[in-house]
């Protein structure tokens, strides 16, 4: 058996309702008119696709002589949804999570090549972050009432019980691919406990925007922006010939995607930007806010004062996953991580509770260099 390597990502390195923390600034009046071609598709200029997928919305904007059919994007989105949506009863990930045997393996053919690459990326990121990123955290998410379950009384005994089968370790949850004569044959999953479960929410949407951008790249598109649920990847130039401009929200409790205030606008070129935050999704128990970000190392909600983490990275998968991991690590550990891993080509903005009813902001030098304060 051999672990999968991703076909899309050469660097060493959510499908639930998502609340966008970053927004692409649509520049009014910059679309060139399109004319119908002989094949019925629009030709020349800039094109835009919008829709709903993965419990949120998406927007795709690009320059091309020929407009890409909507079906290219909708079929790709459907493929990802079919594989890793926890909200879809017939998804592959739900079938894996429902497997209750520990004396035998769950096998399937990963024909769409979604589960395998996501697992390989997750293993990489789990190792890099010393466990702060962990796709087996799903049972803890349920325990704390941020999944499909309502929150009940949670105590140390309950947390310890769940922690006994959480963790990206071969004896708890393992996924391998079988090859025959150098060719992929099948994928096998082994559980150490029947209650172990996978959750790719913290990386799937970032990975999806990478796939959508790849679909454009193989068609010769050089200038494009793809956004899904607030996860953004940009390539080339925007419609007026400059870098893409992406706005990042202030961490204001109670704000929504319709009622938001921006902190900065960031100029992006050939990079992805994703934000994770705790100020919109939390429980309040006895006057205390409980973050939806669960620390896989302790089993308890993160309580480090970090309100949001915005990450710029070469790929959406890395930006998405590391934004979540940084919410677990907190401000100081995230700064240390960035210093230790310059090879990852990351930049970040951290907004944290200042202890006085407001928030402080820290930006890495690279992030600061492309930011415009609002």
pLDDT above 60: residue 283: no
Cross-strand bridge partners of residue 58: 51, 228
- Does residue 24 carry a pLDDT above 60? no
CA distance 9 to 233: 14
Pairwise pLDDT comparison (123 vs 257), residue with the higher score:
123
Q: Is residue 16 part of a domain?
A: no
CA–CA distance, 338 with 348 (Å, rounded to integer): 8
pLDDT band of 64, cuts 50, 70, 90: very high
CATH of the domain at 160: 1.10.3980
In this structure, the answer to whether residues 270 and 216 fall within a common structural domain is yes
Please report whether residue 207 resides in a domain. Answer: yes
Question: Mean pLDDT throughout 20-24?
Answer: 53
Whether residues 234 and 176 share a domain: the answer is no
- Please indicate, yes or no, if residue 17 is contained in any of the structural domains: no
With tokens 């660097």, the residue in question is: 11
DSSP letter at 191 equals E
130 and 168 in contact (C-beta within 8 Å)? no
User: CATH number of the domain that 57 lies in?
Assistant: 3.10.520.10
The answer to whether residue 11 sits within a structural domain is no
Residue 72 belongs to some domain of the structure: yes
Same domain, 258 and 331: yes
Q: Is the pLDDT confidence value at 16 over 70?
A: no
Assess whether 209 and 182 both reside in one domain.
no
What is the mean pLDDT of the segment spanning 11-35? Answer: 37
Residue 231 in domain:
yes
The reply to whether the predicted model has a pTM over 0.75 is yes
On whether both 186 and 208 belong to a single domain, the answer is: no
Give the separation between CA 191 and CA 182, rounded to whole angstroms.
Answer: 26
The Cα–Cα gap between 90 and 88 comes to 6
What residues contact residue 122 under an 8 Å CB cut-off, 6+ apart? 133, 134, 135, 168, 200, 203, 321
Claim to verify: residue 260 and residue 361 sit in the same structural domain: yes
Q: Residue 138 in contact with residue 162, Cβ under 8 Å?
A: no
Residues 353 and 263 reside in one and the same domain: yes
Round to whole Å and give the CA distance between 228 and 51. Answer: 10
Domain membership of residue 319 (yes or no) is yes
Q: Binning pLDDT at 50, 70 and 90, where does residue 183 land?
A: very high
Rounded mean pLDDT, 165-190: 93
Mark which of 165, 191, 217 sits at the end of a domain. 191
Q: What confidence tier does 293 reach under pLDDT thresholds 50, 70, 90? A: confident
pLDDT of residue 167: 93
270 and 137 in a common domain:
no
Q: How far is CA 295 from the centre of its chain?
A: 17
Number of domains in the chain: 2
Q: Examine the fold and report which residue of 146, 169, 191 is the final residue of a domain before the chain moves on.
A: 191
89-148 tens-digit pLDDT: 999 999 999 999 999 999 999 999 999 999 999 999 999 999 999 999 999 988 877 755
Instruction: Report pLDDT digits (tens) over 332-357.
Output: 999 999 999 999 999 999 999 888 88
- The pLDDT score that the predictor gives to residue 145 is 79
In this structure, are 255 and 172 located in the same domain? no
Alpha carbons 92 and 159: distance in angstroms, whole number: 27
The pLDDT, as a whole number, for residue 346 is 98
* pLDDT band at residue 288 using 50, 70 and 90 as cut-offs: low
Residue 62 and residue 171 in one domain: no
pLDDT tens by residue, 88-99: 999 999 999 999
Mean pLDDT of the chain: 84
Residue 50 is assigned to a structural domain of this protein: yes
- Distance from C-alpha of 215 to C-alpha of 72, rounded to nearest angstrom: 8
Q: What is the mean pLDDT of residues 278-303?
A: 70
Boundaries of domain holding 172: 93-191
Q: What is the pLDDT of residues 198-227, one digit of tens each?
A: 999 999 999 999 999 999 999 999 999 999
Q: Which of 136, 160, 191 is the last residue of a domain?
A: 191
pLDDT of residue 152: 62
pLDDT of residue 252: 73
**Residue 64: HSE in the Cβ half-sphere, 13 Å Cα cutoff:** 23
Residues 250 and 139 in one domain: no
Higher pLDDT, residue 115 or 285: 115
Pair (287, 357) in one structural domain: yes
> Taking residues 65-69, what's their average pLDDT?
93
């Amino acid at each position: 058996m051999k672990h999968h390597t991703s076909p899309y990502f050469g660097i060493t390195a959510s499908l639930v309702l998502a609340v966008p923390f970053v927004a692409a600034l649509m520049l009014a009046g910059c679309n060139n008119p399109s004319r119908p071609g002989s094949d019925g598709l629009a030709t020349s200029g800039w094109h835009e696709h919008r829709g709903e997928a993965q419990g949120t919305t998406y927007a795709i904007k690009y320059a091309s002589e020929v407009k890409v059919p909507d079906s290219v994007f909708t079929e790709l989105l459907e493929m990802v949804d079919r594989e890793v949506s926890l909200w879809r009863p017939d998804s592959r990930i739900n079938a894996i999570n429902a497997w209750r045997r520990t004396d035998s393996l769950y096998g399937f053919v990963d024909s769409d090549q979604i589960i395998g690459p996501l697992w390989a990326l997750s293993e990489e990121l789990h190792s890099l972050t010393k466990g702060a990123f962990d796709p087996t955290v799903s049972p803890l998410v349920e325990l704390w009432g941020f999944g499909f379950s309502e929150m009940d009384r949670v105590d140390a005994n309950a947390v310890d019980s769940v922690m006994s089968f959480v963790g990206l370790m071969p004896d708890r949850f393992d996924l391998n691919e079988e090859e025959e004569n150098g060719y992929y044959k099948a994928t096998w999953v082994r559980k150490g406990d029947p209650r172990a479960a996978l959750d790719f929410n913290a990386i799937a949407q970032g990975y999806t925007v990478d796939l959508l951008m790849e679909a454009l790249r193989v068609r010769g598109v050089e200038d494009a922006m793809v956004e899904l649920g607030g996860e953004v990847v940009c390539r080339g130039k925007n419609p007026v010939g400059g870098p893409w401009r992406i706005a990042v929200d202030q961490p204001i409790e109670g704000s929504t995607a319709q009622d938001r205030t921006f902190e900065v606008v960031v100029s992006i070129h050939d990079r992805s930007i994703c934000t994770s935050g705790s100020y919109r999704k939390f429980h309040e128990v006895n006057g205390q806010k409980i973050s939806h970000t669960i620390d896989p190392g302790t089993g308890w909600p993160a309580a480090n004062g970090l309100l949001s983490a915005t990450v710029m990275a070469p790929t959406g998968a890395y930006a998405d996953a590391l934004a979540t991991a940084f919410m677990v690590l907190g401000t100081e550990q995230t700064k240390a991580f960035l210093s230790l891993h310059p090879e990852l080509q990351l930049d970040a903005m951290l907004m944290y509770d200042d202890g006085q009813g407001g928030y402080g902001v820290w930006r890495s030098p690279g992030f600061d260099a492309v930011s415009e304060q609002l």
